[in-house]
């Protein structure tokens, strides 16, 4: 199929283009075809009456005009060089406050992070908050990953999306040996964005990570650190279950971060935060957190492995 011709827009002002067209219309024709105007004849008489002399004068005038135009262009803006571009970029980097890698990662994952609250009835039959944690949307139809211990035994579950929309949610899947639960929200935002997941296969200790969640119900909160190791095992404080093959990280996490995403500096989910290690009886962060690798977590929702 023949493509239409493409034209580059001129940077010359419209008035100049019109003037150029007018000059082109009024320009004298070839010398052989036009006799000298009557008002030039007197001048020609003074110059000996020779057309050759007249055209020589015109050529001289044209040369002077061309030299004037060339000089004007020479004094105009110079074309950009790579050195000019490098200097402009360096000036921007030194004068502008750019967001950190952790800030960019948090901004990317934040629309997919939800607050998870579970409720149970007390002796009087009144719903009371039983547990609170974090979840991450992995499918834009409202499918959410979180920790099983956040929702276990709940009689009702509420999730709060990034835009503030609240919805009832139900448990649709469980992977008990990894402390994972899959939730389905009944109502979802129109523009819900799911997280991007990526394999942990090429990650190494020292790679930067970010944890986003609701520690102690405050959030969404962001903390950053690095991956400390792989293949770790963790036993819950109650000693009821040991989870193996975990990612160890040092980004700050506390109760309420459970079920939230652990993401790379590209904002891609590589794990689900599931526990913290503290040798004391206090459930506070001392620098060692654990996350279930996303390869295991995704299978809990029936998603294919990487």
Q: What is the average pLDDT across 144-157? A: 95
Give the pLDDT score at 108.
97
Give the pLDDT score at 299.
86
Distances (CA, A) of 31 to 34, 35, 49, 52, 56: 6, 8, 15, 10, 11
149 is catalytic: yes
Give the pLDDT score at 157.
98
Residue percentage of the chain with pLDDT more than 70: 72
Give the pLDDT score at 11.
42
298 pLDDT tier (thresholds 50, 70, 90): confident
Which candidate, 123, 168, 122, places its Cα nearest to that of 142?
A: 168
> For the chain, what are the domain ranges?
110-185, 208-300
274 pLDDT tier (thresholds 50, 70, 90): very high
d(CA 303, CA 55): 86
Whether residue 220 is preceded by a cis peptide bond, meaning omega within 30 degrees of 0, is yes
As a CATH number, domain 110-185 is 2.40.10.10
Residue 270's CB: how many other CB atoms inside 10 A?
25
In whole numbers, what is the pLDDT of the chain averaged over residues? Answer: 81
What is the phi-psi region of residue 142: left when phi exceeds 0, alpha when psi lies from -120 to 50, beta otherwise?
left
Residue 156 gets which letter from DSSP?
E
Q: What is the average pLDDT across 148-165? A: 96
Tell whether the model's pLDDT for residue 92 goes beyond 60. yes
Take residue 140 and report the two structure tokens written for it.
């834009």
258 is catalytic: yes
Among the listed residues 118, 167, 179, 250, the single catalytic one is 179
Among the listed residues 167, 221, 223, 258, the single catalytic one is 258
47 pLDDT tier (thresholds 50, 70, 90): very low
Give the model confidence (pLDDT) of 9-46 as tens digits: 334 344 444 444 444 444 444 444 444 445 444 544 54
**pTM of the entire structure?**
0.69
296 is catalytic: no
Tell whether the model's pLDDT for residue 261 goes beyond 80. yes
d(CA 283, CA 116): 19
- Domain 208-300 coded CATH 3.40.50.300: no
Give the pLDDT score at 18.
44
**Do the domains 110-185 and 208-300 sit in the same CATH topology, yes or no?**
yes
Give the model confidence (pLDDT) of 48-74 as tens digits: 445 555 556 555 556 555 555 555 555
Q: Are 215 and 284 in contact (CB under 8 A)?
A: no
β-strand pairing of 208-213 with 180-185: unpaired
Q: What is the average pLDDT across 79-103? A: 82
Q: What is the average pLDDT across 202-224? A: 96
Among the listed residues 149, 167, 224, 296, the single catalytic one is 149
209 pLDDT tier (thresholds 50, 70, 90): very high
């Amino acid at each position: 199929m023949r493509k239409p011709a493409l034209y580059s827009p001129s940077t010359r002002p419209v008035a100049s283009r019109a003037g150029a067209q007018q000059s082109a219309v009024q320009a004298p024709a070839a010398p052989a075809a036009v006799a000298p105007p009557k008002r030039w004849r007197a001048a020609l008489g003074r110059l000996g009456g020779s057309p050759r002399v007249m055209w020589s004068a015109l050529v001289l005038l044209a040369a002077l005009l061309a030299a004037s135009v060339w000089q004007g262009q020479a004094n105009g803006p110079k074309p950009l060089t790579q050195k000019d571009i490098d200097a402009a970029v360096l000036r921007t980097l030194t004068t502008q406050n750019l967001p950190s890698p952790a800030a960019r990662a948090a901004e990317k994952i934040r629309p997919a992070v939800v607050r998870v609250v579970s409720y149970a009835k007390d002796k009087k039959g009144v719903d009371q908050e039983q547990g609170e944690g974090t979840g991450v949307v992995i499918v834009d139809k409202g499918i959410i990953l979180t920790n099983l211990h956040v929702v276990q035994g709940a009689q009702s579950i509420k999730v709060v999306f990034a835009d503030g929309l609240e919805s009832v949610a139900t448990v649709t899947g469980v992977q008990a040996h990894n402390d994972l639960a899959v939730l389905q929200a009944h109502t979802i935002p129109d523009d819900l964005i799911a997280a991007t997941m990526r394999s942990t296969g090429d990650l190494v200790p020292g790679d930067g990570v970010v944890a986003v969640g609701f520690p102690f119900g405050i959030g969404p909160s962001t903390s950053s650190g690095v991956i400390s190791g792989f293949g770790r095992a963790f036993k819950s404080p109650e000693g009821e279950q040991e989870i193996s093959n975990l990612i160890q990280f040092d980004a700050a996490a506390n109760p309420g971060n459970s079920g939230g995403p652990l993401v790379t500096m590209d904002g891609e989910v590589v794990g689900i935060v599931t526990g913290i290690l503290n040798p004391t009886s206090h459930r506070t962060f001392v620098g060692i957190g654990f996350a279930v690798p996303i390869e295991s977590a995704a299978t809990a929702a029936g998603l294919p492995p990487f």
